[in-house]
Amino acid sequence: MFRILLAEFKHETNTLSQQKTDFESFRNRGYLTGQAIIDNRLHTGTEMGAFLDILLDQPDVSLIPVVASNAMPAGPVTQDVFDLVCGQIVAAVRQSGPIDCVLLSLHGAMVTESSGDGEGDLLTAIRQAAGEHVLVVSTLDLHANISPAMAANANALITYEAYPHVDMYDRGLEAARIVLRTLRGEIHPVMRCVHLPLILPAMTTLDANMKKLVDQIYQYKQMDHILSVSFGHGFLCADTDVLGATVGVVADGDEDLAETVAEKLADLIWQAKEKLVHETISAQQAIERAQLTDKGPIVFADVADNPGGGSSCDGTHILRLMIEQNVSDAAVALIYDPDAVEAAVKAGVGQMVDLNLGGHTQSDIMGEPINCRAYVRLIRDGRYQNRGPMERGMTVNLKKSAVVEIGGISVIIAANRTQPYDLEIFYAHGIDPTRRKILLLKSTHHYKAAYGPIARQMLSVEVSGLMPQNPKHLSYTKCRRPIYPLDPLENRR
């Protein structure tokens, strides 16, 4: 019987954010142990859902689910939470009797209070506890800052291929199949990683230049003896010494092949780097573009206030301009503001309420609160289930939420942050997103998977926020130098 330990520990850390990620942050999004992991994740469109779908009914596999913890991106993970979760996984490795594999679902861009390389520390601790003979495999987010310590302490690292991340489940299947075939002696995975001195902006794989690279990755994956090909873009808002893009290739027993393919892909990425730019427009330009047509929906993506990248989700710059310019037939998902939700609840449905909306977190960057009088349309428990292409089946918990109307703009306000990448956030709040002219979304690219089919236009609108799109607009102090585009670099080696 092959004994496989399962764990999830995910956080994308934005070092610009002053909001620490503590245990409450993990509880707000998800913290599960033991059997509850199977009960909660089975048949969901997640990596853990895929692990379970592949492994649960295998006659020669015994699963040991340890912990599944995931918090909304924000500032560094507090030391007590890292020590707790890392300690749970390491203790399970030591105390579960002989194990054959540790199969993990990690993000890859975790920064803790004491370390810029959370996953590197975690994988090092797991390897020390497990020994060299135990297979260690992990899925990673496409925005992983894959470090040398991560590469050295895992047998295989497998990143998402797509941004929007519509392939979490598929990459979970890929990892679980590699685990199963390895344990059964059918393959012998070896991995080579190539780290590039390159900070990429948040680049969707729908972008034509990025798509060429993805097509090339597909081609490499078809080669004989290649088991997996990963391109970790890195996460530009994690200012650490491991920030940067990395290629990882897993081959069947052939280290030279893994290295050759990794170097070739790294060359292609390096050659394409000048073209990998996220073009954005101003809020005023977006409003003017919307005025040119009667047809919607037109998405205004507030790309720099993406809570999925650790921003505060309470930025007010775009909404303020929309109110000032009497924009109507618009809906907003969402403004994080627990006090405003409480005020709406206190006023009651059908009543007017005076709000000091949003802008309570790092308002020097996110904008000042909007003083306004609003109509309370609806109050909810804040729960809805994703039905779209990302994390289908997972329940989102906004803790408590409301819809308030400011002029012709319906604004979802919530007591918890989330990236609104599923249409259900609107439907659950009594808003039909297909019938609004303008949808203001706190998202960089993920929304495109669900909103692409319904939107007439999708505009990347950039105002001041905690997730700037151009690396040159961040003041880095910790990342290694030289690095492109901060420094002029001819060669990547």
Residues that bind Zn ion (CB under 5 A): 141, 143
143 or 317, CB closer to Zn ion? 143
Angle at the Cα of 414 (from 408 to 416), degrees rounded to 5? 155
Nearer residue to Zn ion within complex by CB, 65 or 73: 73
> In this complex, which beta carbon is closest to Zn ion, that of residue 149 or of residue 237?
237
Sequence-ordered list of residues with C-beta below 8 angstroms from that of 247, at least 6 positions apart, any chain: 193, 194, 196, 229, 230, 231, 232, 262, 265, 266, 269
Indicate the DSSP class of residue 489.
-
Smallest gap from Cβ 138 to Zn ion, in A, equals 15
Q: How far is the CB of 143 from Zn ion (least distance, A)?
A: 4
Whole-angstrom distance, CA of residue 159 vs CA of residue 157:
7
Count of Cβ atoms closer than 10 Å to residue 122 Cβ: 26
**How is 388-443 classified by DSSP, letter by letter?**
SSSSTTPEEE-SSEEEEEETTEEEEEESS-----STHHHHTTT--GGG-SEEEES-
Q: How far is the CB of 207 from Zn ion (least distance, A)?
A: 15
Closest approach of Cβ 142 to Zn ion, in Å? 5
Residue 310 beta carbon to Zn ion: minimum distance, rounded to whole angstroms? 11
CB of residue 127 to Zn ion, shortest distance in Å: 25
Dist. CA 212–CA 210, nearest whole Å: 5
Closer CB to Zn ion, residue 161 or residue 252?
Answer: 161
Nearby residues of 445 by Cβ (< 8 Å), 6 or more positions away:
163, 164, 202, 204, 206, 301, 303
**Is 8 or 141 the residue whose CB approaches Zn ion more closely?**
141
- Residue closer to Zn ion by CB (options 141, 305) is 141
Between residues 65 and 76, which has the closer beta carbon with respect to Zn ion?
Answer: 76
Buried b (16+ CB within 10 A) or exposed e, 334-349: bbbbeebbebbbebee
Output the smallest distance, CB 108 to Zn ion, in A. Answer: 9
List the structure tokens of 257.
């092949």
- Closer by beta carbon to Zn ion, 237 or else 379: 237
Closest distance to Zn ion from the beta carbon of 109 (Å):
8
**Hey, what are 404's tokens?**
């308030």
Closest to Zn ion by CB, 141 or 391: 141
Nearer to Zn ion, 63 or 71 (CB): 71
The DSSP 8-state label assigned to residue 76 in this structure reads P
Minimal distance in Å, beta carbon 425 to Zn ion? 19
Shortest-Cβ-distance residue relative to Zn ion: 143
How near is the Cβ of 160 to Zn ion at its closest, in Å? 7
In contact, 170 and 452? CB cutoff 8 Å? no
- DSSP bridge partners of 229: 249
What span, in angstroms and rounded, lies between the C-alpha atoms of 478 and 187? 39
Given the DSSP bridges, would you call strands 370-380 and 246-252 parallel, antiparallel or unpaired?
unpaired
Is residue 485 reached through a cis peptide bond, with omega within 30 degrees of 0 on the bond before it? yes
